[in-house]
Structure 1
Amino acid sequence: MKDGGRLTAAIEVLQEVETRHRPVQAALRDWGTAHRFAGSGDRTVIGNLVFDALRNKASLSAVMQSGDPRGLVFATYVKTWEKGLLALEDALAQDRHAPEPLSEQEKKLLSEDAQLRSSPAEAADVPDWLWSRFEASLGENAVTEGQALARRAPVDLRVNTLKSNRDKVLKRLAHTGAKSSSLSPVGIRIEAKPGLGRMPHVQAEEGYQKGWFELQDEASQLAAQLAKAEPGEQVLDYCAGGGGKTLALAASMQNKGQLYAFDADRLRLAPIHERLKRAGIHNIQVRDPASTDLKDLEAQMDLVFIDAPCTGTGVWRRRPDSKWRLSERALEDRIKDQRHVLENAKKYVKNGGRLVYATCSVLREENQSQSEWFLEQNPEFQALSALDIWKELLPEKALPDHVSESGSVMLTPHSTGTDGFFISVFKKQT
């Protein structure tokens, strides 16, 4: 396919997402099924156009004075990808499958000398209704943080220290451009490629098949490390989902002690069994909510880890369509969910044990406000400083910019080069 046809395809997919409110991955998959002549390279470019248009939807809509999919795709090609207006005109003229030629108004809006006036929310690519909360959470850097959340995410890997080490994995992945992560001592990063760039399919690599590494954002790796799961401990991963942090906790425990993986949604737990086998982990019990309860674990755990349900504002780089589907009602529901999870999970912590509360959100309402609420409601718990744990485990690394009075830590794309992630640690007093 030529670029003209790819532009048409991206517009069609965006229209499907907008008009039928479909997840972008599903819309892209269905487009590929219906257009089997498109090669993998074509599908990559089309996907990049669609995802980048969604990442920058507000700022590009300001450029085009409209959120129409055609304008968003054209602005992505010209502005975000820096191809320029002439390249777009050539793409439209040289392919019979291309969209209709540019109107004079579109040419004017896409021209380099077009004057752009945008609001802070548009400049940050944050939904208007959320801007006041976003700004209150991130302060004077809110626009910069929003722009960082609107860029492509790197591919981050966590070395499985039960089977390999970072030097060995780096050597095997040298052809991908993989480098050591800047913060996580077990992390590897493959930087995002711009424009038409295609990321390597690391899950096809021999090292992945052998369990030498897992896909996991660096912030998520750091959250697991700050939990300080020790060999021989009793640990409950209360919202285990697909098991990414469960595997990281197990590696920290060196396969010693007992780790329980639980999630209220049994479907979310489904992938964990294959991942455990591949990673060579033997100290995990998966508790299926449909067939068992956790009564035997009450007041027995040295550590309870909660990766709480949240709005996902910290992972907008990876799920840009979720940014525009988020609503005020959904935020309110997540806040209720988080309090419910905290109140349920606390009963499994033994005296002297720890409770770690984490979210992939950058909103204060889901993060520090929830930590403060929990401490007010549960005086038997006290805050431990995640910042002090950071200093202990990562003494040579730069400190996070976003730290609360109690020492809770928030990571962000702009400040730490990671997904947005919040970590708060509590200890149950004896």
Structure 2
Amino acid sequence: MRLGGRLSAAIDILSDIETRHRPVAEALKDWGLSHRFAGSGDRAAIGNIVYDALRLKLSHQWLMQSEEPAALGFAVLLRQWGYTVEGLTAELEGDTFAPAAPGSDVFETFAARNLSEAPPHVQADLPEWLQSEFEKAFGEHWIPEAQGLNGRPPLDLRVNRLKANREKVLKALARTGAVPTEVAPDGIRVAPVEGAGRHPNVTAELSFAKGWFEVQDEGSQIAALLTGASGGQVLDYCAGGGGKTLALAASMGNKGQIHAYDADRHRLAPIVERLKRAGTRNVQVHDQAAQLEPLQWRCDHVLIDAPCTGTGTWRRRPDTKWRLTPETLAQRMAEQETVLEAAHRFVKPGGELVYVTCSLLPSENAGQVARFRERHPEFKPVEIAARWESTFGTALPAHADPENGMVTLTPATTATDGFFIAVMRRLS
């Protein structure tokens, strides 16, 4: 397919997402199934246009003065893919599958407008009702922090030190351009792709099949290491597919005992095969809350990767930004409170509770922790600065609250997905 056909397909998919209010991954999958002639390169390029359009949806619409999917598609090529109006017109000329271009007045408006004159939430490309949350989280820097969530993400991997070291995996993945991550000691990064490019399929590598590495964002790796577990009894209370469980097993060198639990059996199911491939020997998997009862007040570390709005993952899932509502936020906050109340019972005196979200909203993060501590004053913040420095050899990132044992990671400041981590110790 030429550019015109790819752009036309992306516009159709954007229309489908808008009219049917469906997830982008679902819409892309359905398009691919009904257009089997499209090659993998075509599907990747089309997906890139769609995702790019959703990442900068508000600012694209403001600059083009149009909410039409076609305007979004053309804005992507002009703003994010480096085309000029003249170059794009020439590229599409004679392409019978190319969509009709917006009128010349739209391109004139696009050229004349200055995004710095747009409303703040449009500059940030986030729903207006969330502006106050970002202002509370980041103060005067809230716009660049929000904008950091609008770029393409890298592909991050975690070396499984049970089977390999970073040098060995870097050598195996040399053709991908992989480099060490800045903070996580076992992290490896493949830079974000540009234009119609696509990330290498690392899960097809022999080194992946051997269990040498897992796909895991650097921020998630950092969160697992800040748990501070080196042995003893560890409970990963919302284990999901097992990313942090695997990271804990590797950092603990298969010592101690990790209990991986999730109330959602479908989310938990992949963990079994992942644990086997990784060579873990210190993990027990639980899919029923009753199985955890013997652990009450006995765990050295309890990790809660809590359900949340996922605002920190908007680079990877930009469609969720536009589907998020105040009602959804309230529901997630209620779920977080329930999980905290259930999980804290497993922390023994002197043990630690680690609360993690992939959200950047204070309501889900610092606010949630403050309310928990009010209910349970026996939990006190851990000295997070010393732990960070001893674990990673660097100073705390910009958005940290060492007095309250909290760290916030963001694409703009730590080049990771957005994560919030709070570490608390039970004194009695």
**SS of the counterpart of 1:254?**
coil
**SS of the counterpart of 1:274?**
helix
Return the alpha-carbon distance in structure 1 between the equivalents of residues 284 and 165 of structure 2. 25
Partner of residue 401, structure 1: 398
Q: CA deviation at 1:392?
A: 1.7
Partner of residue 260, structure 2: 261
Instruction: Write the letter of the residue equivalent to 2:398.
Output: D
Partner of residue 42, structure 1: 42
Matched, 1:164 2:161: no
Return the alpha-carbon distance in structure 2 between the equivalents of residues 24 and 315 of structure 1. 14
Return the alpha-carbon distance in structure 1 between the equivalents of residues 92 and 141 of structure 2. 39
Matched, 1:55 2:55: yes
Return the alpha-carbon distance in structure 2 between the equivalents of residues 407 and 137 of structure 1. 16
**SS of the counterpart of 1:294?**
helix
**SS of the counterpart of 1:331?**
helix
Partner of residue 282, structure 1: 281
Partner of residue 152, structure 1: 152
Partner of residue 422, structure 1: 420
**SS of the counterpart of 2:355?**
strand
Structure 1 stretch 367-376 or stretch 113-122: which is displaced more? 113-122
Residue of structure 2 aligned with 1:339, choices 337, 340, 349: 337
CA contact (8 A) 1:137 1:363 kept: yes
CA contact (8 A) 2:237 2:304 kept: yes
Partner of residue 14, structure 2: 14
Residue of structure 2 aligned with 1:376, choices 374, 377, 386: 374
Partner of residue 250, structure 2: 251
Matches within 5 A, 1:158-307: 158-231=158-231, 233-289=232-288, 292-307=290-305
Q: CA deviation at 1:137?
A: 1.0
Return the alpha-carbon distance in structure 2 between the equivalents of residues 106 and 315 of structure 1. 32
Partner of residue 70, structure 1: 70
Partner of residue 355, structure 1: 353
Compute the TM-score of the two structures, normalised by the length of structure 1. Answer: 0.97
Structure 1 stretch 154-163 or stretch 99-108: which is displaced more? 99-108
CA contact (8 A) 2:127 2:321 kept: yes
CA RMSD of aligned residues (A): 1.2
Structure 1 stretch 141-150 or stretch 79-88: which is displaced more? 79-88
Structure 2 gap ranges (5+)? none
Return the alpha-carbon distance in structure 2 between the equivalents of residues 66 and 343 of structure 1. 47
Structure 1 gap ranges (5+)? none
**SS of the counterpart of 1:25?**
helix
Deviation readout 1:221-261 (Å, 9 max, x if unpaired): 00000101113x11100000010001001111111111111
Return the alpha-carbon distance in structure 1 between the equivalents of residues 86 and 362 of structure 2. 44
Return the alpha-carbon distance in structure 2 between the equivalents of residues 18 and 420 of structure 1. 26
Instruction: Write the letter of the residue equivalent to 1:163.
Output: K
Return the alpha-carbon distance in structure 1 between the equivalents of residues 21 and 398 of structure 2. 36
Return the alpha-carbon distance in structure 2 between the equivalents of residues 37 and 91 of structure 1. 22
Instruction: Write the letter of the residue equivalent to 2:209.
Output: Q
Matched positions, count = 426
Return the alpha-carbon distance in structure 1 between the equivalents of residues 420 and 406 of structure 2. 7
**SS of the counterpart of 1:364?**
coil
CA contact (8 A) 2:409 2:417 kept: yes
Residue of structure 2 aligned with 1:313, choices 311, 314, 317: 311
Q: CA deviation at 1:379?
A: 1.4
CA contact (8 A) 1:234 1:257 kept: yes
Return the alpha-carbon distance in structure 2 between the equivalents of residues 376 and 284 of structure 1. 33
Matches within 5 A, 1:73-112: 73-111=73-111
Instruction: Write the letter of the residue equivalent to 2:190.
Output: I
Q: CA deviation at 1:398?
A: 4.0
Return the alpha-carbon distance in structure 2 between the equivalents of residues 69 and 388 of structure 1. 50
Return the alpha-carbon distance in structure 2 between the equivalents of residues 334 and 110 of structure 1. 38
Instruction: Write the letter of the residue equivalent to 1:45.
Output: A
Instruction: Write the letter of the residue equivalent to 1:40.
Output: S
Q: CA deviation at 1:114?
A: 3.9
CA contact (8 A) 2:359 2:420 kept: yes
CA contact (8 A) 1:85 1:110 kept: no
Deviation readout 1:269-308 (Å, 9 max, x if unpaired): 0111110111011111110128x53111111111100000
CA contact (8 A) 1:92 1:98 kept: yes
